[in-house]
Structure 1
Amino acid sequence: MDITKEKVYKPIRKVKDDKFSIDKIEQYCLILEIGDRDLQVSIIDIKSNRVLILEDYSLNKTADEHQKVQVLKALFDSHHLLMVGFWKEVILCFKTPKYCLAPLSYFSKDNARAILKMNCEVHKDESVGYYKVNSNNSVNIFTYQKEVLKFVRSIYVNSKIKVTHQSGMLVNAVLYNPPFANENELSLYIDRFYLHAAVTNNGKLLYFNSFKIQKFEEYTRYINLICNEFKILKKEGVINLWGYIKKDSSHFNALKKDFPALTMGSRTKKLNFGFKFDEIAEHQYFDVFGNYFNL
């Protein structure tokens, strides 16, 4: 891949609040959420809990971590803020497919890799990270791209960097988003080629899992399995949906037909949004904002 001849990223969405000030960067949190083919950037004022910037990019497919860093470097070098190094906090969130949520009481640093290997295949050359999920007593264990973390650390040498995973941030987003039902409720998040699902009861997490989606019919199949397992009624139950899907789309209408109780989820009330964010549907970027609750 020759990054000097090829545009390796594409901006999908950019929103900037008028209250953003370059002079206040030392009180801002920078969130970077990185997937195989995408990157989301958000900046939040820690003092006011106000979301100031949200950006979404598609990235070219890469063969390895070295190429991913090249793509990120091309984007960062051309960005007016990402090379600034004085953020109050930086959160780097990975969207890797290998992860698990383990009870805090069963976790120790020495057995992190062993616990993850109970849930998925982990190769010797894969880096394994972990952190406590702030919204409940669990530890998120996951694989991450070591070269990407090294690249981010080389830029933000003066900032505190926290490394997280999308799964734990979705748990945060769900558990910091009352009101909660006194029954089993299903929270769904549709990402690019993935379905993430959480079941909660009265603000307690009962279940979380992710499913790779290859055709639309698989959404219905997986949601049916979860509803049957946790006795969630398709017509009268509580089923909320967030993510990359439009409310007036044919896909949403098809899901609504199979699950009449399905409704679009809302943003957390713990963050503040200016009018510039009215152009973004409230059910989008739910996972990105969930990172803020792991400061």
Structure 2
Amino acid sequence: MIEDIGYIEPVLLIKPEKFSIENIEQYDLCIEIGATYFRFAIKAEGTFISLEDFQYPVNQTQNEFIKSIFNEHPYLAARFWKTIKVILHSTKKTVVPGEIDADLASQVWETLYGTPEKGSSILYARTDQNSIIFQANKEQLDFLFKFYSEKKITIKLAESLLPLGDEQETYLLFDGKGCHLTYNTPQLNCYYAIDWKKIDKSRLHQNVLLIGEITEYATEFNQLTNEINHAKKALLTPNIRLSAEFSQIAEFRYFIIFNS
């Protein structure tokens, strides 16, 4: 048990010995809310120096856990971060070309899907020349905006952080339940599938990069690489800086938060 957390142990904890909460106004806080995990990382002058990764407890809902950890964790409960970025994952989303605003995002969503699901908010994210409209958990958003102040938080969709270039990359992001597929050639697209075998096979001739909750020891990994023999775990670009404490970390698992 980690002494200063007090009630739940992270599956991964990286923290420098001399880290002090008294200096948080100098640090950037990056939070990622996934389907099966909650994690946050801290950056100092552009270098990641700390990471905590949690699995949701079986005796709490996701929203209950998020509220409790923000209220009880000594770092998250602090309000004076230099910047706060919250990364969301969404299983329901659509891509539209060009720039949009909140009103247009809502109009497009209702045209495609009808009235948003109860308890959800419709947001949008920019990525290069396109926008992604997505569904988010309203209770989580309301809590976070109230906890930190809406002006303090920047909301990001996970796909908007992927380094999509001209190499025809296809990213498969495993979230512990299903798979998010993202690519930008010939045009940007992203969608969610419970079973990776049902994804658009026309994409699989591209550079298939695996990120998220998958390891080379998993049966799913062996099946996937047998079918797509050029699939490989994604690597971070050299411009992403990690402190020495991260030397043994599985970069592909934390690919999204490290690209924030």
Give the count of matched residue pairs.
255
Equivalent residue, structure 1, for 2:25: 26
1:51 positional shift = 0.9
Q: What stretches of structure 2 of length at least 5 have no aligned partner?
A: 1-5
Equivalent residue, structure 2, for 1:271: 240
**Aligned partner (choices 69, 72, 83) of residue 66 of structure 2:** 72
Q: What stretches of structure 1 of length at least 5 have no aligned partner?
A: 1-6
**Aligned partner (choices 210, 221, 228) of residue 241 of structure 1:** 210
1:78-107 per-residue CA deviation (whole Å, 9 max, x = no partner) reads 3121101101111223223222232234x2
Match of 1:147, SS?
A: helix
AA of the residue aligned to 2:258: F
Equivalent residue, structure 2, for 1:114: 107
Relative to structure 1, is the Cα distance of residues 267 and 148 closer, same or farther in structure 2, using a 3 angstrom cutoff? same
1:200-257 per-residue CA deviation (whole Å, 9 max, x = no partner) reads 45xxx723323332xxxx3234252433xxxx2xxxx522211111124433222211
Relative to structure 1, is the Cα distance of residues 211 and 145 closer, same or farther in structure 2, using a 3 angstrom cutoff? closer
Bigger helix share: 1
Equivalent residue, structure 1, for 2:131: 139
Equivalent residue, structure 1, for 2:10: 11
TM-score normalised over the length of structure 1: 0.74
TM-score normalised over the length of structure 2: 0.82
1:111-132 per-residue CA deviation (whole Å, 9 max, x = no partner) reads 2112123444543644434344
Does 1:211 pair with 2:192? Answer: yes
User: How many Å separate the matches in 2 of 1:158 and 1:206?
Assistant: 33
Runs of 4 or more consecutive aligned structure 1 residues displaced over 6 Å after TM superposition: none
1:40-189 matches, cutoff 5 A? 40-45=39-44, 48-60=45-57, 68-105=62-99, 107-123=100-116, 125-133=118-126, 135-157=127-149, 160-168=152-160, 172-175=161-164, 180-181=166-167, 184-189=168-173
- Note if contact 2:171-2:208 (Cα within 8 Å) is conserved in structure 1: yes
Equivalent residue, structure 2, for 1:226: 203
Over the aligned positions, Cα root-mean-square deviation in angstroms equals 3.0
- Note if contact 1:42-1:55 (Cα within 8 Å) is conserved in structure 2: yes
